[in-house]
Each structure stands twice: as structure tokens, then as C-alpha cells.
């Protein structure tokens, strides 16, 4: 059974220098309340794994603006000028990872696999320093798993066992990130009793969720 905690308690799980996964894309499906709690907490020197840094003062961008992030593994920073500025000024280090590859590297970690081979990025900077494999005349790049200390994710609803239900495209990277961290905290709109969620609607089984936080609590 997942433990129900406050946003403040969740933020305290993230220590200086921790690796942290933050779900969502351009704020959709992002744990906005938990991010705000991190900003209030002030924990810094974070390594963040996320698809996008959202906007300067919204979503993941709040942590960029407050200079709590030291390094990123990310796919998209085009909507956040503060990220671009800090990167150009060498205030933050970034590994750019194609979105599908990023999510698959996270899922691979959760599945206990040692990596996977992909043709994406062959002949580009994405392939630099990586092992390759030739199969049937085609080159593939070895992509290694990404495992984080903590994942903050977001869902529409949870039961007290930690089973999660997502709303439409807000599902995005949430299921994979739930698998890809040692500790997973889910921010949800509603918490119901076990049995109130149909098994067919469960997007992430409770076995992957350690803590629940009701938005605003």
C-alpha cells in the first residue's frame, strides 16, 4: 500500500545532488505541485531527467529559474529561454536525448534490462562515445538505462494501493518514470479506496508507487 504524504514531505525525499525524474511534456502530465514544493524547499545541485524544461516560470522551468538544477538529460528546451541562457553560459550541463530514446532508456531501467540498440542518431553527435552494433548491414547504437533516485509523476486518480489512472495525453512519460526510479511519488487529484478503480483503467500498477500526494496537500 502506498503511503500518503504531504508535498512538503515529498520534497524532503529529494536530497542535494539527487537524480530526479520529472514527468510530463510542456507541463501536460507534469507534477506541478510537487515541483512547487521543491522550489519552496530549495534543494539544489539536482540532476533532472525530463522530456522538456517547460516554460521559464511554469513546470520544470521553475527549478531552472531558481537555479536548483545542475545537469539535465532532456529532449526539448525550445520553450524555455532561461534553460537556453544557462546552457550557453555553462551554468548547467545538458545531455540531449531524443524523446523516444529517453523514455525507452527509462523503461529499460524499470524492466531490469542492460540497455537496447537503436538506429536513431547514427552518424550524429548522439552516437559519440557509444558502443555500436552492425546487424544485416545496419548500424545500431547501444543506449543504456537511466535510473533515478526519485521520480515525481502525476496522475488523475489513485487508490490507496497506489494504482494510478491517467487522463488522456497527460499519461505521456508517467508510466515509464514510475518504473525508472528507486522511489516514486505520484501527485494526484483524487485518492479513493481500493476496489473503486476498474482494473482496466489502471495505467500504472501500485507496485511501482511508493508515495501518494494529493495536489495542494
Cross-strand bridge partners of residue 133: 140
Q: What is the pLDDT of residues 81-129, one digit of tens each?
A: 999 999 999 999 999 999 999 999 999 999 999 999 999 999 998 899 9
Give the residue from 20, 21, 68, 16 showing the smallest Cα distance to 40.
68
HEC per residue, the chain: CCEECCHHHHHHCCCCCCEEEECCECCECCCHHHHHHHHHHCCCCEEEECCECCECCECCHHHHHCCCEEEEEECECCCCHHHHHHHHCCCCEEEECCHHHHHHHHHHHHCCCCCEEECCCCCCHHHCCCCEEEECCEEEEEECCCCEEEEEEEEEEEECCCCEECCHHHHCCHHHHHHCEEEEEEEEEEEECCCCCCHHHCCECHHHCCEEEECCC
Residue 123 domain flag: no
| pLDDT at residue 208, as a whole number | 97
CB-CB neighbours of 65 under 10 Å: 19
Q: What are the grid coordinates assigned to 141, written together?
A: 547504437
Residue 16 belongs to what domain range?
3-113+145-214
51-90: per-residue pLDDT in tens?
999 999 999 999 999 999 999 999 999 999 999 999 999 9
> 69 forms bridges with which residues in the sheet?
46
- In the chain, the number of structural domains is 1
Q: In CATH, what number is assigned to the domain containing residue 187?
A: 3.40.1080.10
Residue 39 included in any domain: yes
Burial-class residue 128 by CB neighbours within 10 Å (0-12, 13-18, 19+). Answer: exposed
Q: What is the Cα–Cα distance from 82 to 62, expressed in whole angstroms?
A: 10
Task: Give a yes or no: residue 98 inside a domain.
Answer: yes
137 falls within a domain = no
Residue whose C-alpha cell reads 510542456 in the numeric block: 26
Task: State the Cα–Cα distance between residues 22 and 177, nearest whole angstrom.
Answer: 8
Residue 71 inside a domain? The answer is yes
* Claim: this prediction has a pTM higher than 0.85: yes
Report the percent of the chain where pLDDT is more than 90: 97
Is residue 131 included in any domain, yes or no?
no
User: Tell me, what's the pLDDT at 124?
Assistant: 92
User: What phi and psi, each to the nearest 5 degrees, are found at residue 42?
Assistant: 85, 5
HSE of 133, CA atoms in CB hemisphere, 13 A: 12
Amino acid at each position: 500500500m502506498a503511503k500518503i504524504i504531504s508535498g512538503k514531505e515529498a520534497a524532503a525525499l529529494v536530497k542535494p545532488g539527487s537524480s530526479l525524474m520529472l514527468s510530463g511534456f510542456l507541463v501536460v502530465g507534469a507534477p506541478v505541485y510537487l515541483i512547487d514544493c521543491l522550489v519552496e524547499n530549495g534543494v539544489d545541485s539536482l540532476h533532472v531527467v525530463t522530456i522538456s524544461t517547460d516554460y521559464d516560470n511554469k513546470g520544470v522551468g521553475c527549478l531552472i529559474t531558481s537555479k536548483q538544477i545542475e545537469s539535465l538529460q532532456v529532449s526539448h528546451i525550445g520553450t524555455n529561454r532561461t534553460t537556453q541562457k544557462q546552457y550557453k553560459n555553462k551554468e548547467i550541463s545538458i545531455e540531449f536525448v531524443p524523446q523516444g530514446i529517453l523514455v525507452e532508456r527509462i523503461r529499460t531501467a524499470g524492466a531490469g534490462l542492460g540497455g537496447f540498440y537503436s538506429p536513431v542518431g547514427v552518424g550524429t553527435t548522439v552516437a559519440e562515445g557509444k558502443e555500436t552494433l552492425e546487424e544485416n548491414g545496419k548500424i545500431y547504437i547501444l543506449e543504456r538505462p537511466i535510473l533515478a533516485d526519485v521520480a515525481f509523476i502525476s496522475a488523475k486518480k489513485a487508490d490507496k494501493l497506489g494504482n494510478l489512472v491517467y487522463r488522456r495525453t497527460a499519461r505521456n512519460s508517467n508510466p515509464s518514470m514510475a518504473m525508472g526510479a528507486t522511489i516514486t511519488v505520484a501527485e494526484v487529484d483524487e485518492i479513493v479506496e481500493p476496489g473503486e478503480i476498474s482494473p482496466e483503467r489502471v495505467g500504472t500498477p501500485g507496485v511501482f508507487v511508493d508515495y501518494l500526494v494529493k495536489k495542494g496537500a
